[in-house]
Structure 1
Amino acid sequence: MQPEREAVIFAGGKSSRMGRDKALLPFGGYSTLAEYQYRRLLPLFDRVSLSAKGDKFPFDSPRIYDRDAETSSPMVALASVLEQAQHDIVFVLSVDMPLVDALLIDRLYDAHADHPAAQIILAASPHGTEPLCALYHRDLLPRITEQLERGEHRMHALLKEAVTVKVPCEREEIFTNLNTPEEYYRLLR
């Protein structure tokens, strides 16, 4: 029997290179990229939530708001997610990675089954690790809180300190990020 799966879409970033909030850009037949991600993950998970600093989305879904609304950091978002998650293991995906597919997600969960003591199971693309395409265990929360208290917001610092398993994926195109207008319009075409 497959354990229940919970996913959280990280959609609270600054989008500084895009010049506007990329989570709110139209995509894939939906009025926002956030809704596109939400709708496509729904069949794969028992629960899907959006993580952000505030309620900016024009559709209904569970929300997890950052505990620190002033600091823009995936680490702050991850702390908030692990505090409020309904399961011990949470799949985290950046809103700007719309090509990550069910095959890769299943591989992450398979790796978790093979390495039950792992605290982080993340995808590794040909260009490096993908901390916003990963499974995180709730028992990381004290470590994340301690890192934040000392001003450490880098996700890669957490990866070094935690029990981490990397799942290689050679299909580099699925890690396409929509960081700039050029990347967004290229993917729309």
Structure 2
Amino acid sequence: MTIAGILLAGGRSRRMGKDKALLPLPGSERLTFVEHLNAMLTTCCSEVVLVARDAEQAAEYTFAGIHTITDEAPDIGPLMGLYSGLQAITASHALVIAVDMPFVQPAVVRLLLSQPLDDALLVPVVNGFHQVLLAVYPRSILPAVEERLRAGRRDPRSLLEVARVRSIDEAQLRAVDPQLRSFVNINTPEEFANLK
């Protein structure tokens, strides 16, 4: 089995006021969030795709080595981003990361990719919540994603209701990422300022 990387970047970043994917990575101001995450995934995935909302947003991502695609239909939400990304890859599974999670630790990626892969979603659980935007999805889930989209759903979390799920519990995650930094997402200028 092969693993692709899918970076979800199609949100409007309304609370941030600018595209979160293009924010400078704290501690390494020369790299943006998206460049950092793409570089990390490139080391462990057979292919990496960045899913943008539309052609206008995709034009902002002109970095070398980043393969950008667009949502099949814009402004539907992250479930459409997941669908578009899974449609675009050739691998059997994809590690999906939201682009506003810049502190994903390589050790957490290795933990996820070391698990047996089948037709189940592989989803970390932190504070009792499934972390669906840092998870491994089988490409075979596409029909269920289509069904959820037809039902008007926009969120990957809705797949938990219809798919088989294997959870990675918090103790396993803390063993490799004690502060659970991998699951910090940045949504507002205040949150971003607090990182510096």
TM range (shorter): 0.7 to 0.9
Q: Distance in 2 between matches of 1:31 and 1:72?
A: 28
Partner secondary structure for residue 44 of structure 1:
coil
Q: Which residue of 2 aligns with 1:42?
A: 42
- The one-letter code of the counterpart of 2:2 is E
1:32 lines up with 2:32 in the alignment: yes
CA RMSD of aligned residues (A): 1.7
| Unaligned runs of at least 5 residues, structure 2 | none
C-alpha distance 31-117 of structure 1, shift in aligned 2 (>3 A)? closer
The answer to whether the 8 Å contact 1:119/1:139 transfers is no
Q: Report the TM-score, using the length of structure 2 for normalisation.
A: 0.85
In structure 2, the residue matched to 1:91 is: 95
Aligned to 1:182: 190
CA distance in 2, matches of 1:143, 1:45: 24
Alignment partners' CA distance in 2, 1:51 and 1:156: 18
Determine the structure 2 residue equivalent to 1:66: 71
| TM alignment of 1:99-118, pairs within 5 A | 99-111=103-115, 113=116, 116-118=117-119
Identity %: 29
SS in 1 for 2:12: coil
SS in 1 for 2:87: helix
TM-score by length of 1: 0.88
Equivalent residue, structure 2, for 1:5: 3
Could you tell me which runs of 5 or more consecutive residues in structure 1 were left unpaired when the two chains were aligned: none
For residues 73-115 of structure 1, the C-alpha deviation after alignment (integer angstroms, 9 at most, x for no partner) is: 111011111111110101100111111112111222233x1xx
Matched residues, number: 182
